[in-house]
Structure 1
Amino acid sequence: MPAYAAAHLRSVQMGEEIVEYLRRIDDTLPPFEGRFLSHGKTPEVTEGEWPGHLVLIEFPDIERARGWYHSPAYQAILPLRTKNSDGSAILLEGVGPDYRAADFLKALGLG
């Protein structure tokens, strides 16, 4: 099951540390088969407000997503981002290709 690392970066102070973070993050992904799905794009807001940007990285499964986030290579550069940005980050397990929204009702005992 695919999994994702997502960061909602509401603001980023561009400077030497963020530049260093961006130069180094790519090398942290291959050992965990991670790849960027979205990065640095301005979202098209269709409902509500969305200040900032969304970064989305895909991994083959949640174990590799966790492994990447907690890896020594990523933890070494993480402070470069967190000290220079305001945002939230999550790891999220995806759903399979046959998943339907009504499946959630079954999980709740309502379907």
Structure 2
Amino acid sequence: MEEASPIDLSTCCQNCGACCGYSENWPRFSIESDEELAAIPEALVNARQSGMRCEGDRCSALKGEIGKQTACGIYEVRPEVCRTCMPGDAECAMARRKFGLPIIEAV
């Protein structure tokens, strides 16, 4: 029996994007400073100024096709909640399930 190849955790997010399309309530602001919030383009901030603007459940900064090839349009200045979601954690698994993607086994 052939052993499965390990998933490259450094690139799996670029092949996924599920967390960025999971819920319009997900890409919220929490502990960002005023300076960090000012770095996020105003057109990508929701009307309540509480998080990222979404199109349906999908963050408006997400580029590409979920489950195929994605990228964050504001990666360097993305909110803290986006920085803390890690491949294979509970939030990742929940988002991947929504899109029918296989769960990543965190090591």
Q: Is TM more than 0.5 here?
A: no
The structure having more radius of gyration, on CA atoms, is: 1
**Counting helix residues as a fraction of each chain, which structure ranks higher?**
1
Determine which structure has greater relative contact order: mean sequence separation of CA pairs < 8 Å that are 6+ residues apart, divided by chain length.
1
**Counting strand residues as a fraction of each chain, which structure ranks higher?**
1
